[in-house]
Amino acid sequence: MSEVPHAATWDEIQRVFGGSHMRMAMLLTARSRLEQMAALKVPIAAVWVNGSFVTSVEQPSDIDIAVLVNGPELKSIWQGGDVDHVEATRRVRHCLEERYEPGGMASEHLTDFRGIYWFPEGHDFYHDSVSELDHWSALWSRVKVGSSGHTGGEQEFVSYDNSKGFVEVRWSS
């Protein structure tokens, strides 16, 4: 991976990054969404926390979360007997396709979730999951320094500082 995430517990993230009412609201909303996913038996392996939330910005616009779903454990949802394969797949897709918490407009959201399926080495989908993790790791390890706006019909140059990292929380429900 481009950047190895910084390991932390959820309590550590709250202590370090939850210094304002808005930041705490973002953390509580994110935690609630993750607990709802866990209640639906979505096998969450880890959570990557990123964006302006893991910087010194006083008022981040939201908390960016990548939910790493343990691909090989997906079958445990329907093998437990609660639901069939079709319903289990629908539940997981619904959770991972909901980028923002319910209600309001996208610009008013507190959380921005992305789903990534993770598969171990030796699995048929291992290389796909590593490629996806590399994409997010590279993207989230950089800070946009320039502007991406248009001026005079031409795209402005955007530069990146590769010094930013992100945080990984191992999840257990």
Q: Tell me how many domains the chain contains.
A: 1
Q: Is residue 1 part of a domain?
A: no
Domain that holds residue 126: 6-170
Q: Are strands 160-161 and 167-170 parallel, antiparallel or unpaired?
A: unpaired
For range 130-144, the mean pLDDT: 75
Share of the chain above pLDDT 90, in %: 22
The pLDDT of residue 35 is: 93
Q: Is residue 105 part of a domain?
A: yes
Confidence of residue 29 (pLDDT cuts 50, 70, 90): very high
Q: What is the mean pLDDT of the chain?
A: 79
The pLDDT of residue 13 is: 93
The pLDDT of residue 15 is: 94
Expressed in angstroms, the distance from the first to the final Cα of the chain is 26
Which residues neighbour 49 within 8 Å (Cβ) at sequence distance 6 or greater? 13, 17, 30, 63, 64, 65, 166, 167, 168, 169
Q: Is residue 132 part of a domain?
A: yes
Q: What is the pLDDT of residues 52-110, one digit of tens each?
A: 888 888 888 889 898 998 888 877 776 766 677 777 777 777 777 788 887 767 678 89
